[in-house]
A = this chain, B = another copy of it.
Amino acid sequence: MFQAHDTLVVKTHGRGLVLCTREVAAFVERVGATCGLLVVHIQHTSASLLVQENADPDVAGDLERFFARLVPDGDPLFRHDAEGPDDMPAHVRAALTQTQLVLPVSNGQLALGTWQGLYVYEHRHSGHRRSLWLHYLGD
């Protein structure tokens, strides 16, 4: 059995999806992973992870419009607003999506479907540097 881990920093530019399939696949290749499991864990609570459609850029926009309507900024329901009206909505959006992904690796490649991409979903209006913990376990 073989293990490897590293931190991948993804730069975001305000709300929305940032594709990171290539960077994650590069880690798999760099450590020489052949067959095993890759865990991706985002170390933040106001950004999250998603496996989503990677073909039509409208999908990311539609997804963002949906979440903006579902979890409105500045909702009087929310008390936690120390960092602004998008503070608590960011935590709710993170709760509704994923903090972790577990991706099978086979023949040295991520076992993703044809139309699947890995995304960091930034939920704050300002850009951030988001740390992803990558941990591989396998052969």
Which residues of A (28-64) have their CB < 8 Å from a CB of B? 35-37, 39, 41-46, 50-53, 56, 58-59, 61-63
Given contacts A80-B56, A104-B133, contact A88 B116 (CB under 8 A): no
Q: List, in ascending order, chain B residues with CB within 8 A of A96's CB.
A: 95-97
Q: List, in ascending order, chain B residues with CB within 8 A of A88's CB.
A: 58-59, 62
Q: Mark A106-126, 1 if CB is under 8 A from B, else 0.
A: 100001111110000000000
- What is the chain B residue whose CB lies nearest that of A34? B3
Q: Give how many copies assemble into the complex.
A: 3
By the criterion CB–CB under 8 Å, are B95 and A79 in contact? no
Which residues of A (66-110) have their CB < 8 Å from a CB of B? 66, 69-71, 77-80, 82, 88, 91-92, 94-104, 106
By the criterion CB–CB under 8 Å, are A102 and B104 in contact? no
By the criterion CB–CB under 8 Å, are A61 and B79 in contact? yes
Q: How far is the CA of A39 from the CA of B103 in the complex (A)?
A: 8
Interface of A toward B, CB cutoff 8 Å = 1, 3, 5, 35-37, 39, 41-46, 50-53, 56, 58-59, 61-63, 65-66, 69-71, 77-80, 82, 88, 91-92, 94-104, 106, 111-116, 131, 133, 135, 137-139
